[in-house]
Amino acid sequence: MQTKNTLKLIAVCAIFTGATATFSAGNHAGSHANPDSAIGKAGNAAKVNRTVAVDMNDAMRFTPSSIAVKQGETIRLVVKNSGKLKHELVLGTEKELKEHYEQMKKHPEMEHDDPNMVSLAPGKTGEIIWQFTKAGTVDFACLQPGHYEAGMKGSVTVAGTNAATSGETKKDTPVAVSTDMSQGEIRKVDVDNKKITIKHGEIKSLDMPGMTMVFGVKDEALLGKLKVGDKIRFTAERSGGTFVVTSLQPAQ
Ligand SMILES: [Cu+2]
C-alpha cells in the first residue's frame, strides 16, 4: 500500500519522463489520432462498415468473446452492461491491457476517457467506433479490479487483406525527455466541474503509463486559458482519491 505521504514525496522528487512509446507513436497531425497504432485507431462514425453487439455481465464474460473483422474495417461496437456491477470494454494489446490493469488495481478511482474503451454503469449501453488497421489479434478486456483476472477478456481477429501482415515497425523505444513535467494534449475542458481531460505521456511520479485521463484542476484560473488540442506540459498528483493537475504550461 502506498501512503499519501509517499506519493507526495515522489511527486516532489519526481524525475518525469516525457512521451512514452505509445504517446510518441501517435499521429500528431490527425484529429482522431490514437496512441494505440498497434491495434488500429479511433474510427470515423461516417465510415462504419458494420455494427457488432457485445454483452457484458457479472459472470465476468463478454458475449461474444471473439469477433472476426477484416483489416481496414471500421466497426461500431455496441456494448451493453447487463450486469449489476460496473464493467468496461478496453481494446489493446495484451501487454497494454495488463499494464493498464495494474494501474486500475493501484488506482481504482481512475477515470479514463480513451477512444479505445467504454466504461458502463449497470444497465447502460455505450459504443466504441474503431478501425482495425492491422492484421493480427486485438485483445479486449474489462479492467475493473478482479474482472480481468476472472477471465473477462476476449479478442478481435483481424484478417489481412493480403498475404503479408503489415510491415510497419512498432516504435517501442521510449523517448526520454529531460524535464520534470509530463507531456500532454488537452482533449476536453469541463469548466463547470473543474476538470480537464488530458491525453498524456508517462507520468513517472504516479507510475502511470501514457493514456487519456480526467484530471481535477487545483488552480481554476487555468481552465479559462485552455482549449482542446493545446499541447501542454504538466505535473499532477493524487489527491483525496482523484488526480489533480498541480501545474501546467504550454509545450514549447
Ligand atoms: Cu467487468
pLDDT at site 126: 97
Q: How many whole angstroms from 12 Cα to the centroid of ligand 1?
A: 35
Q: What residues sit around ligand 1, an ion, with C-beta below 5 angstroms?
A: 87, 142, 144, 147, 152
pLDDT tens digits along 14-24: 333 333 333 33
Q: How many whole angstroms from 124 Cα to the centroid of ligand 1?
A: 13
Handedness of CA 37, 43, 48, 53 (dihedral sign): positive
Pick the CATH number of 41-159 from 1.10.3720.10, 2.60.40.420, 3.50.50.60, 3.40.190.10: 2.60.40.420
pLDDT tens digits along 92-142: 999 999 999 998 888 877 777 789 999 999 999 999 999 999 999 999 999
Percent of the residues in the chain that have a pLDDT greater than 90, as a whole number? 46
Q: Is 183 left (phi over 0), alpha (psi -120 to 50) or beta?
A: beta
Q: How many whole angstroms from 209 Cα to the centroid of ligand 1?
A: 21
Q: How many whole angstroms from 151 Cα to the centroid of ligand 1?
A: 9
From 199, 236, 201, 200, select the one nearest 216 (Cα to Cα). 236
Ordered by start, the domain boundaries in the chain are 4-18+179-250, 41-159
What's the CA gap between 217 and 191, in Å, rounded?
Answer: 10
Q: Measured between alpha carbons, how far is residue 35 from residues 147, 185, 200, 230 in Å? A: 24, 12, 10, 17
Look-up of cell digits 473483422 = 69
Higher pLDDT, 135 or 32: 135
pLDDT at site 181: 83
Yes or no: say if 63 and 55 are a contact pair by the CB < 8 Å rule.
yes
Instruction: State residue 143 phi and psi, 5-degree precision.
Output: -100, 15
Q: How many whole angstroms from 14 Cα to the centroid of ligand 1?
A: 33
Q: How many whole angstroms from 192 Cα to the centroid of ligand 1?
A: 30
Please give the model's pTM, rounded to 2 decimal places: 0.61
Yes or no: say if 150 and 103 are a contact pair by the CB < 8 Å rule.
no
Q: How many whole angstroms from 74 Cα to the centroid of ligand 1?
A: 24
Q: Which fold has domain 4-18+179-250?
A: OB fold (Dihydrolipoamide Acetyltransferase, E2P) (2.40.50)
